[in-house]
Structure 1
Amino acid sequence: MAEDLFINEGTKEDQYQSLLPQVKALLTGEEDLIANLANIAAALKTQFDFFWVGFYLIKDGELVLGPFQGPVACTRIQIGKGVCGTAWKENRVLIVPDVDQFPGHIACSSYAKSEIVLPVRQHGKVIGVLDIDSKRLEDFDEIDHKYLEQLLIFLSKSI
């Protein structure tokens, strides 16, 4: 596949339905984790214009910043700290409608208003998290959850 994305301007669900096969094509045949994470971050940022899209990978017992799109970010996050550390510790997706209401939220940027974090798994084991921030309150919902999990399933099959 060419390294260009077709940008769909329809509903959120239409956008995901258009984007997922394109991302799957980008991942097909590429086994390098960092390359795939970088392309996923770029594709999501390009399609949805989220404030920040990126990955944190587990290294030496903490989350360490990986490929991302957006302004500079927190470099290291401890297990159970903030939204990312909590999603990792609890091994579950967290949708936070208002980050200021999340106990212990780590404010890497005051512009981030809502957030979704999903565990990234390889061979069933959590290896990191996908973190997406929005400048809008309540920007994430079950549609994001559903399609982002599908995207991460594609990723886990490629690495």
Structure 2
Amino acid sequence: MSPTLTLVQGDITQESVDAIVNAANSSLLGGGGVDGAIHRRGGPEILADCRRLRAGHYGKGLATGQAVATTAGRLDARWVIHTVGPRYARDEDRAELLASCYRQSLRVADELGARTVAFPAVSAGIYGWPMEDAARIAVETVRNTETAVEEVRFVLFDDRAYAAFAARIA
């Protein structure tokens, strides 16, 4: 059974869910956009967990399309699931890598026992993915991925992103 899809316009760091998905960079050590906001609001516990991951299995960082979980620190969630989206490229089809971000995040959520998960529009910010296409890939992938997650909440920062996702969910 596929999860209920809901849309929220606002700040993903304000959501109360089991897991918040972070559009991370491969270093796992924080960055700009959603990644920076999650690290700032979540506090040093998230960065400390990320550093432990880098010291272990993820010494070279997290590969594009993959996902891994840490504590959520001070966020109103149990976990942060970090996923590395692909940068958009006109001359190369990277849609499968973007879809993998959603599938792998849901796989990690299932392993954790998370029932509610908040996603940003992965790769649609500084990574340059066109919003309408990012929404299509996100919604289709979540709908077609077998998961025990009961609710997927797409938390969208602005009117344009919200409208793009709303058009796909309708």
Which bracket does the TM-score occupy, shorter chain normalised?
0.3 to 0.5
Higher strand share: 1
Bigger relative contact order, structure 1 or 2 (CA pairs below 8 A, ≥6 apart): 2
